[in-house]
Amino acid sequence: MAADDRLSPLSTPGATRLVLEAHGIGTKYTLGQNFLVSDDVLKKIVALADVQPSDRILEVGPGIGTLTIALLKHAASVVAVERDPDLPAVLADTLAPWADRFALIEKDALDLTEADLPLVPNKLVANLPYAVAATVVLDYFQNFPFLECATVMVQKEVADRMAAAVGTKNYGAYTVKLGMYAEPAGRFTVGPGNFFPPPRVTSSVIRLGRRIPLMADGTPATPEVVAAACLMADAAFANRRKTLANSCKTYFSGRNQPVDLPALFAAAAIDPKRRGETLTQQEFLALGQAYLSIG
């Protein structure tokens, strides 16, 4: 593939190595840095994210700007969050042609607040640091209601948890909580050979679209009910092998929080002998509503 045909000129091992060497830096294992070096994968990310000329993109962990360039070629703007103090100088160099449409926030992504953002983004598109990927996605859907969707590269096992169906081994508290805010809308697998250096895991790019959780009667769940449902998900999976009654008892006892569990299960019309992995999103909402009613 000719350089002019590439979505990003940095999407090869050689180009990535040259940029790193020019700035006297290397990859940092502690920051989970594995740079994407496949233009085909970049094109698939942009397509799955459905990046439009009017989109304002939020990116976490831009690295040397490989994906950022691809996004800037399609979107109105990109604001990126980067914690590595060595990379702002690199990004100032690689993204110079798009400086008027790019902004960098030098901060840990887990500490990002709306006040940090120079503009309000509508989509998250990122090759996320794997150690914090699951936390970042849930946190951003919870705290940034202006994000319509997220298209993120994560470890395959994390994507499996994000998209798990009720009753499967990957369905757990995280799946339930993320499902209160978002639902899967496509994914594809990315092998280790698409990165420099290659990671020891297989990756997946998954798109998650924002959703509004509905109660049994079809009305939108209130933020308070959603928060309580998330709490009940943690309680239901506190001990996965136990029944709801026993797992929730363990959870609330550990928090020194007395809860009338028989009344709670009765109010939600949920059999306490069931296990957490058998409950649907709507049933967790019912538990959340019951938790608030007996509190």
Are residues 24 and 88 both part of a single domain?
yes
Q: What CATH number is given to the structural domain containing 151?
A: 3.40.50.150
The pLDDT tens digits for 13-64 are 999 999 998 998 865 544 456 899 999 999 999 999 999 999 999 999 999 9
Residue 240 has pLDDT above 50, yes or no: yes
The pLDDT tens digits for 81-135 are 999 999 999 999 999 999 999 999 999 999 999 999 999 999 999 999 888 999 9
Are residues 122 and 257 both part of a single domain?
no
pLDDT at 88: 96
| Alpha-carbon span 179 to 172, nearest angstrom | 11
pLDDT at 24: 86
Residue 249 has pLDDT above 80, yes or no: yes
Is 216 contained in some domain? Answer: no
Are residues 131 and 253 both part of a single domain?
no
Is 217 contained in some domain? Answer: no
Contact 13, 196 (CB under 8 A): yes
Are residues 193 and 271 both part of a single domain?
no
Q: What type of residue sits at position 232?
A: M
pLDDT at 25: 83
Contact 268, 287 (CB under 8 A): yes
Are residues 127 and 256 both part of a single domain?
no
Domain that holds residue 186: 3-210
Contact 74, 148 (CB under 8 A): no
Are residues 184 and 267 both part of a single domain?
no
pLDDT at 125: 98
Q: Which of 185, 210, 235 finishes a domain? A: 210
Give percent of the chain with pLDDT exceeding 70: 96
Name the residue among 44, 48, 42, 47 with its Cα closest to residue 62: 42
As a whole number, the mean pLDDT across the chain is 94
Are residues 59 and 13 both part of a single domain?
yes
pLDDT at 293: 95
Residue 4 has pLDDT above 70, yes or no: no
Predicted confidence band at 3 (pLDDT cuts at 50, 70, 90)?
low
**Among the ranges given (35-39, 158-162, 177-181, 291-295), the one the predictor scored with the smallest mean pLDDT:** 291-295
Are residues 176 and 269 both part of a single domain?
no
Average pLDDT over residues 145-168: 97
Are residues 70 and 107 both part of a single domain?
yes
Contact 16, 36 (CB under 8 A): no
Average pLDDT over residues 156-181: 97
Q: Which of 177, 210, 243 finishes a domain? A: 210
Q: What type of residue sits at position 6?
A: R
Cis before 220 (ω within 30): no
Is 52 contained in some domain? Answer: yes
Cβ of 279: how many Cβ atoms within 10 Å?
24
Asked whether the CA dihedral 264, 268, 272, 274 is positive or negative, the reply is negative
Q: How many domains does the chain have?
A: 2
Q: What CATH number is given to the structural domain containing 268?
A: 1.10.8.100
Q: What are the b/e assignments for 144-168, b being 16+ CB within 10 Å?
A: beebebbbbbbbbebbbbbbbeeee
pLDDT at 295: 67
Are residues 259 and 192 both part of a single domain?
no
pTM above 0.85, yes or no: yes
Average pLDDT over residues 148-155: 98
